[in-house]
Amino acid sequence: MTAVTQQNLADQGITQFTDLVSRVPGLHLSEDNTQSTFTIRGISSSTSADTTSATAGIYIDDFPLYDTWFRFASPDIHLFDVERIEVLRGPQGTLYGATSLSGSVRIITNKPDLDAFGASFEGTGSSTDGGRGNYEANGMVNIPLIDGELGIRAVAYARGEGGYIDNLYRGSDVNGQQSYGGRFMIDAHPAADWNILWTFMIQHDVHDDQDATYYYPPPGQTDMDFNSVLPTRIESDLFVSTLAVDKKLGADDINVTATVGYDQSNNV
């Protein structure tokens, strides 16, 4: 297992999956518009273009973000306010199911601190030669509502990458990208041996234009004309809600944890 800690993420400026893969041996990332596909140690599978089953699962804490059949279900999660990232080399089928032949990638988020208020913010800006500007902004606030018993933690983030490709029909810098979202957590300790954590997460991704091939252009237009006139804007929405209940049994530090959740990923 390889673990990248929060301090490592901050020191190396890792905020997205493309930054992560260069720091973890054996981890490979394939990007498809607003979606990302991991493989570990080169183990992959392929059936057809739209039904390539994943071989490395992606998890937010203990909840999977990968669909077991269609590959278009793993957005590039922002790696802000993350305790650590674990890369477990496979097979990991015993613990992580069907999409873990080559391994699993777990994003362990920071949980609410029930004893102290906290907040943080970071932002960056840059420019692209011959293109538009880029930006990234991340913020977190942690509020204990009842000391030691109840607290909330909220995270918000936004990222924009300016385009740099000019299109003769639609103007300049058409291939920009935008992404924004956040997480909200409520952590409750109603008794010494109980812990209840509810997490809500959303993320919206937009790619303004992508290269594509259309085999049947309208009458009177060539393939090149048709590909240039028609924008290939792609949007992706992710919604995740989980409830984790942890119960300590007896004096032997035996814990039983149950996690239930719902996620929805849409592409337009």
> What CA dihedral angle connects 241, 85, 106 and 159, to 10 degrees?
50
Report the pLDDT value the prediction gives residue 155, as an integer from 0 to 100: 97
Domain map (residue ranges) of the chain: 2-109, 118-267
What are the tokens at 39? 């493989």
User: What distances in angstroms separate CA 31 from CA 105, 234, 235, 262, one per listed residue?
Assistant: 16, 13, 14, 24
pLDDT digits (tens, 9 = 90+) for 167-198: 777 778 888 889 999 999 999 998 888 899 99
Report the pLDDT value the prediction gives residue 207, as an integer from 0 to 100: 83
Residue 58 near residue 65, CB atoms below 8 Å: yes
pLDDT digits (tens, 9 = 90+) for 138-155: 999 999 999 999 999 999
CATH of domain 2-109: 2.170.130.10
Strands (E), the chain: 2-5, 27-32, 35-40, 56-60, 63-64, 82-89, 103-109, 118-127, 133-146, 150-161, 177-188, 194-207, 234-249, 254-267
Backbone angles phi, psi at 217, to 5 degrees: -70, 155
- pTM score, two decimals? 0.79
